Amino acid sequence: MLEQLKQEVFEANIELMRRKVVIYTWGNVSGIDREKGLMVIKPSGIDYDRMSARDMVVIDIRTGEKVDGKWRPSSDTATHIELYRKYPQIGGITHTHSVNAVAFAQAGRDIPALGTTHADYFYGPIPCTRSLTKEEVEKGYEKNTGKVIIETLEERGIEPLAVPGIVVRNHGPFTWGRDAAASVYHAVVMDTVAEMTMKTLLLNPSAEMPQYILDKHYYRKHGKNAYYGQK
Ligand SMILES: [Zn+2]
Protein backbone atom coordinates (compact mmCIF):
# COMPACT_ATOMS: atom_id res chain seq x y z
CA MET A 1 0.00 0.00 0.00
CA LEU A 2 1.31 3.47 -0.99
CA GLU A 3 4.78 2.05 -1.74
CA GLN A 4 6.06 5.23 -3.36
CA LEU A 5 4.87 7.52 -0.57
CA LYS A 6 6.37 5.14 2.01
CA GLN A 7 9.70 5.36 0.19
CA GLU A 8 9.52 9.19 0.06
CA VAL A 9 8.66 9.46 3.75
CA PHE A 10 11.37 6.96 4.69
CA GLU A 11 13.99 8.90 2.72
CA ALA A 12 12.79 12.19 4.24
CA ASN A 13 13.27 10.72 7.73
CA ILE A 14 16.79 9.56 6.82
CA GLU A 15 17.57 13.01 5.41
CA LEU A 16 16.77 14.52 8.84
CA MET A 17 19.46 12.36 10.39
CA ARG A 18 21.90 12.95 7.55
CA ARG A 19 21.56 16.74 8.02
CA LYS A 20 22.20 16.25 11.75
CA VAL A 21 19.01 17.88 12.97
CA VAL A 22 17.97 14.73 14.85
CA ILE A 23 19.75 12.20 17.07
CA TYR A 24 18.41 8.84 18.27
CA THR A 25 14.67 8.76 17.50
CA TRP A 26 13.99 12.48 18.13
CA GLY A 27 12.10 13.39 15.05
CA ASN A 28 9.36 12.36 12.69
CA VAL A 29 8.32 13.08 9.15
CA SER A 30 5.02 12.33 7.41
CA GLY A 31 3.61 12.74 3.94
CA ILE A 32 0.05 12.55 2.65
CA ASP A 33 -1.84 11.13 -0.32
CA ARG A 34 -4.65 13.69 -0.60
CA GLU A 35 -6.76 11.68 -3.03
CA LYS A 36 -6.91 8.74 -0.66
CA GLY A 37 -6.86 10.81 2.56
CA LEU A 38 -4.03 8.61 3.85
CA MET A 39 -0.94 9.76 5.71
CA VAL A 40 2.35 7.85 5.88
CA ILE A 41 4.41 8.46 9.02
CA LYS A 42 7.51 7.16 10.78
CA PRO A 43 6.94 4.38 13.31
CA SER A 44 7.36 5.25 17.00
CA GLY A 45 10.74 4.66 18.64
CA ILE A 46 12.48 2.84 15.77
CA ASP A 47 16.15 3.79 15.30
CA TYR A 48 16.93 5.44 11.98
CA ASP A 49 19.69 2.93 11.18
CA ARG A 50 17.33 -0.05 11.56
CA MET A 51 14.42 1.53 9.67
CA SER A 52 13.28 0.78 6.10
CA ALA A 53 10.44 2.00 3.87
CA ARG A 54 8.44 -1.12 4.85
CA ASP A 55 8.37 0.07 8.48
CA MET A 56 6.36 3.22 7.65
CA VAL A 57 2.82 3.34 9.05
CA VAL A 58 -0.30 4.36 7.10
CA ILE A 59 -3.03 6.33 8.91
CA ASP A 60 -6.45 7.40 7.63
CA ILE A 61 -6.63 11.11 8.55
CA ARG A 62 -10.44 11.06 8.66
CA THR A 63 -10.65 8.40 11.38
CA GLY A 64 -7.13 8.65 12.84
CA GLU A 65 -6.92 4.84 12.60
CA LYS A 66 -3.97 2.82 11.32
CA VAL A 67 -4.78 1.10 8.04
CA ASP A 68 -1.38 -0.45 7.20
CA GLY A 69 1.97 -1.20 8.88
CA LYS A 70 3.23 -3.46 11.63
CA TRP A 71 4.43 -0.80 14.12
CA ARG A 72 2.71 1.84 16.20
CA PRO A 73 2.91 5.22 14.47
CA SER A 74 4.94 8.16 15.82
CA SER A 75 3.55 9.43 19.13
CA ASP A 76 3.08 12.83 17.44
CA THR A 77 0.66 11.40 14.86
CA ALA A 78 -2.36 13.32 16.19
CA THR A 79 -0.49 16.64 15.72
CA HIS A 80 0.21 15.78 12.08
CA ILE A 81 -3.45 14.82 11.53
CA GLU A 82 -4.72 18.15 12.89
CA LEU A 83 -2.49 20.10 10.51
CA TYR A 84 -3.39 17.99 7.46
CA ARG A 85 -7.11 18.32 8.21
CA LYS A 86 -6.87 22.10 8.53
CA TYR A 87 -4.50 22.91 5.65
CA PRO A 88 -5.15 21.10 2.34
CA GLN A 89 -2.16 22.88 0.75
CA ILE A 90 0.28 20.98 3.00
CA GLY A 91 1.72 17.67 1.72
CA GLY A 92 4.41 16.89 4.30
CA ILE A 93 5.17 17.64 7.97
CA THR A 94 8.39 17.36 10.00
CA HIS A 95 8.94 17.58 13.75
CA THR A 96 12.38 17.69 15.37
CA HIS A 97 14.07 18.79 18.57
CA SER A 98 16.87 20.58 16.70
CA VAL A 99 18.94 22.58 19.17
CA ASN A 100 18.69 26.12 17.83
CA ALA A 101 14.97 26.11 17.08
CA VAL A 102 14.30 24.47 20.46
CA ALA A 103 16.22 27.30 22.15
CA PHE A 104 13.64 29.78 20.78
CA ALA A 105 10.78 27.47 21.79
CA GLN A 106 12.12 27.19 25.32
CA ALA A 107 12.73 30.94 25.54
CA GLY A 108 9.15 31.50 24.36
CA ARG A 109 10.32 33.76 21.52
CA ASP A 110 9.49 34.11 17.85
CA ILE A 111 12.47 33.74 15.53
CA PRO A 112 12.57 37.27 14.12
CA ALA A 113 13.39 37.84 10.44
CA LEU A 114 16.78 39.59 10.61
CA GLY A 115 18.34 38.76 7.27
CA THR A 116 17.96 37.49 3.74
CA THR A 117 18.64 33.83 4.59
CA HIS A 118 15.49 33.87 6.69
CA ALA A 119 13.59 35.94 4.10
CA ASP A 120 14.34 33.47 1.30
CA TYR A 121 12.16 30.83 3.00
CA PHE A 122 10.01 32.43 5.71
CA TYR A 123 7.99 35.54 4.94
CA GLY A 124 8.25 37.19 8.38
CA PRO A 125 8.99 36.02 11.91
CA ILE A 126 8.67 32.31 12.64
CA PRO A 127 6.05 32.35 15.40
CA CYS A 128 6.28 30.78 18.82
CA THR A 129 2.98 29.42 20.17
CA ARG A 130 1.68 29.94 23.69
CA SER A 131 2.28 27.21 26.27
CA LEU A 132 -0.36 24.52 26.40
CA THR A 133 -2.58 24.66 29.48
CA LYS A 134 -2.54 21.91 32.10
CA GLU A 135 -5.87 20.61 30.77
CA GLU A 136 -4.59 20.63 27.18
CA VAL A 137 -1.54 18.60 28.22
CA GLU A 138 -3.45 16.10 30.33
CA LYS A 139 -6.19 15.35 27.79
CA GLY A 140 -5.41 15.07 24.08
CA TYR A 141 -1.87 16.47 24.31
CA GLU A 142 -0.72 15.74 20.75
CA LYS A 143 -4.01 16.84 19.20
CA ASN A 144 -3.91 20.05 21.27
CA THR A 145 -0.35 20.69 20.07
CA GLY A 146 -1.81 20.75 16.56
CA LYS A 147 -4.63 23.03 17.71
CA VAL A 148 -2.27 25.57 19.32
CA ILE A 149 -0.23 25.68 16.10
CA ILE A 150 -3.39 26.41 14.11
CA GLU A 151 -4.58 28.97 16.69
CA THR A 152 -1.26 30.85 16.40
CA LEU A 153 -1.25 30.87 12.58
CA GLU A 154 -4.86 32.06 12.50
CA GLU A 155 -4.37 34.79 15.10
CA ARG A 156 -1.49 36.16 13.10
CA GLY A 157 -3.14 35.73 9.70
CA ILE A 158 -0.29 33.53 8.43
CA GLU A 159 -0.65 31.50 5.21
CA PRO A 160 1.15 28.27 6.13
CA LEU A 161 3.16 27.95 2.93
CA ALA A 162 4.45 31.56 3.31
CA VAL A 163 5.81 30.77 6.79
CA PRO A 164 6.33 27.00 6.61
CA GLY A 165 7.16 26.41 10.27
CA ILE A 166 6.57 27.32 13.89
CA VAL A 167 8.07 26.64 17.29
CA VAL A 168 5.76 25.22 19.94
CA ARG A 169 6.55 26.85 23.27
CA ASN A 170 8.55 24.70 25.72
CA HIS A 171 8.78 22.03 23.01
CA GLY A 172 10.25 22.61 19.57
CA PRO A 173 9.82 23.12 15.84
CA PHE A 174 7.20 21.80 13.44
CA THR A 175 7.68 22.52 9.74
CA TRP A 176 5.71 21.68 6.62
CA GLY A 177 5.79 21.96 2.85
CA ARG A 178 4.25 20.68 -0.36
CA ASP A 179 5.67 17.22 0.32
CA ALA A 180 7.67 15.32 2.94
CA ALA A 181 11.04 16.34 1.45
CA ALA A 182 10.08 20.03 1.47
CA SER A 183 9.07 19.83 5.14
CA VAL A 184 12.48 18.37 6.01
CA TYR A 185 14.21 21.05 3.96
CA HIS A 186 12.35 23.70 5.95
CA ALA A 187 13.31 22.00 9.24
CA VAL A 188 16.99 22.12 8.30
CA VAL A 189 16.79 25.72 7.06
CA MET A 190 14.85 26.81 10.16
CA ASP A 191 17.48 25.44 12.51
CA THR A 192 20.30 27.17 10.64
CA VAL A 193 18.36 30.44 10.53
CA ALA A 194 17.68 30.10 14.28
CA GLU A 195 21.41 29.71 14.92
CA MET A 196 22.22 32.77 12.80
CA THR A 197 19.52 34.78 14.58
CA MET A 198 20.73 33.81 18.03
CA LYS A 199 24.29 34.87 17.20
CA THR A 200 23.02 38.11 15.66
CA LEU A 201 21.04 38.93 18.82
CA LEU A 202 24.15 38.29 20.93
CA LEU A 203 26.07 40.88 18.92
CA ASN A 204 23.18 43.31 18.64
CA PRO A 205 20.03 42.67 20.69
CA SER A 206 18.11 45.31 18.70
CA ALA A 207 19.09 44.04 15.22
CA GLU A 208 16.34 44.25 12.61
CA MET A 209 15.70 44.06 8.86
CA PRO A 210 13.67 46.57 6.81
CA GLN A 211 10.41 45.23 5.34
CA TYR A 212 11.54 46.00 1.76
CA ILE A 213 14.53 43.63 2.07
CA LEU A 214 12.24 40.89 3.43
CA ASP A 215 9.85 41.52 0.51
CA LYS A 216 12.62 41.52 -2.09
CA HIS A 217 14.13 38.22 -0.98
CA TYR A 218 10.88 36.39 -0.39
CA TYR A 219 9.25 37.44 -3.63
CA ARG A 220 12.24 36.83 -5.87
CA LYS A 221 11.92 33.13 -4.91
CA HIS A 222 8.15 32.78 -4.43
CA GLY A 223 5.04 33.96 -6.22
CA LYS A 224 4.23 34.80 -9.80
CA ASN A 225 7.16 37.20 -10.40
CA ALA A 226 9.84 34.90 -8.94
CA TYR A 227 13.11 34.93 -10.84
CA TYR A 228 15.56 33.04 -8.58
CA GLY A 229 17.10 29.83 -10.01
CA GLN A 230 16.75 28.31 -13.48
CA LYS A 231 13.69 28.51 -15.68
ZN1 LIG B 1 8.70 16.58 20.22
Where in the sequence numbering do the catalytic residues fall?
120, 228
| CA 108 / ligand 1 centre spacing (Å) | 15
Residue 227 lies in a domain: no
Any alpha helices (H) in the chain, and if so which ranges? 3-18, 77-86, 99-107, 116-119, 134-138, 141-155, 180-203, 211-221
pLDDT tens digit sequence for 45-100? 888 888 999 999 999 999 999 999 999 999 999 999 999 999 999 999 999 999 99
Q: Is 70 exceeded by the pLDDT of residue 231?
A: no
Residue 105 lies in a domain: yes
Lowest-pLDDT range, 1-5, 24-28, 215-219? 24-28
Number of domains in the chain: 1
Residue 174 lies in a domain: yes
pLDDT tens digit sequence for 88-102? 999 999 999 999 999
- Report which DSSP code applies to 53: G
CATH classification of the domain holding 39: 3.40.225.10
| CA 194 / ligand 1 centre spacing (Å) | 17
| CA 69 / ligand 1 centre spacing (Å) | 22
| CA 152 / ligand 1 centre spacing (Å) | 18
**Separation between Cα atoms, residue 173 and residue 77, nearest integer Å:** 15
Cβ neighbours of residue 108 closer than 8 Å, sequence gap 6 or more? 128, 131, 169, 170
* Residue span of the structural domain in which 90 resides: 2-222
